[in-house]
Amino acid sequence: MKKSLVALALLGAFSGAHAQSSVIIYGTLDAGFAKTTNTTPGVSSPTTIGKRDNNKLGFRGTEDLGNGLKALFHLEIRLEPDTGTIEGVTRPLFQGQSRVGLQGNFGTVRLGRGLTALQESTTAYEPWSGLPNVAGFQTDLQVGGYRTATPGSGSDPLGPAGNSGNRFSNAVFYNSPVYRGFQLNWTWGTRENNGLATFIQGRNPTYPGTAPGFNAQYPVGRQGGAYPYSVSATFTEPSSAPRYSVMLANERNATEVSLWSVAGYVRPMPALKLMATYNKQDLDNVTPVSALGRMSEINSWVLGMNYTMGPGKLLLGYGQKHPEMVLKTKQASIGYEYNLSPRTYVYLDLSNKKLPAAVTSTVTTTQNHYSMGIHHNF
């Protein structure tokens, strides 16, 4: 995600200007044709204008405070390019992030809302670089099924309905300096339940059977059972073209669901990047006993490859997710990007995904997906 540089300060030309300032406008627009079969079993989506990446319009800036200290902020609007609405129609305006903080020798500390340490760190080990499209692995397999579509799961289970599952609201974000290749990232959230009366319904109460199977209930307004946190530690070869990197990460959300993730990549030659991730989600605190028994754990792994060929890049990935007692999900994807410039490319993605037809189903359904389009950073 190259952020382009846009705006620049003028000194003194307007009253009220006290010091040099800068706001950088950046963003991504990505639109293309897309089609997925069996989005519900037996029903395919029409060919439509879809997206591969999140579309965004962001504003950010830094201020030099002297002595190596900086103030910095990010405000990032998300949108749907095909209809012009904000992302998901009901998500926050600044769905991408809204953070302000300080940067210095101690690292970076920010307050507000953004990706958690784990969710942000995993993207370096995913073959689609964390792009949230159907062919990519980030939003499901790369995080062991840890997302809001599963009640109680995901980074923000007590957020408004329809929110994204990989951010903390009401949080403190810390990134350490990189020391000999090591970096520590840590996110801490409050127990506030941001579900709003008009948006949220309690997640667990929608499950059948309330009493015996449950460990916790989080109706509207009830605070989380624990302070959520997310931590990732990475080691990347200290080099301008690192040949390897590893990550260990753990996150626990406000409903006490936790996720462990280990990941790594190697570059046997400069054009080739090989990636692997293994994840384990512990859902014991929120899952009821179903007809099949209790699904208290989900394991998943993803293997990936990127191969650069001149202006082109080939993406390959394969992964599996295995929730206890439930059929496996298996996904294979291939993608190709052709760079028209450092900030614009066209792409083609193909994907095949086998998944249970319903949560406790004993039959699988197969989704084929294609998308082709243009991706433009500004």
- How far is the CA of 330 from the CAs of 269, 293, 321, in angstroms? 29, 22, 7
Report the nearest approach of its own copies to the CB of residue 124 (Å): 16
Report the nearest approach of its own copies to the CB of residue 364 (Å): 25
* Choice between 145 and 189, CB closer to its own copies: 189
* Choice between 18 and 180, CB closer to its own copies: 18
Closest C-alpha to 282, from 250, 235, 248: 250
Helices (H), the chain: 117-121
DSSP secondary structure string, 288-337?
A: PEETTEE--EEEEEEEEEEEEETTEEEEEEEEEEEETTSPPEEEEEEEEE
Query: From CA 125, how far away is CA 102, in angstroms rounded?
Result: 28
- How far is the CA of 87 from the CAs of 156, 240, 361, in angstroms? 17, 35, 31
Query: From CA 1, how far away is CA 115, in angstroms rounded?
Result: 15
* Choice between 7 and 358, CB closer to its own copies: 7
* Choice between 1 and 276, CB closer to its own copies: 1
Report the nearest approach of its own copies to the CB of residue 331 (Å): 25
* Choice between 63 and 297, CB closer to its own copies: 63
Report the nearest approach of its own copies to the CB of residue 49 (Å): 4
Report the nearest approach of its own copies to the CB of residue 143 (Å): 21
DSSP secondary structure string, 213-250?
A: T-S----TTPPPSS--EEEEEEEE-SSSS-SEEEEEEE
* Choice between 92 and 127, CB closer to its own copies: 92
Report the nearest approach of its own copies to the CB of residue 178 (Å): 14
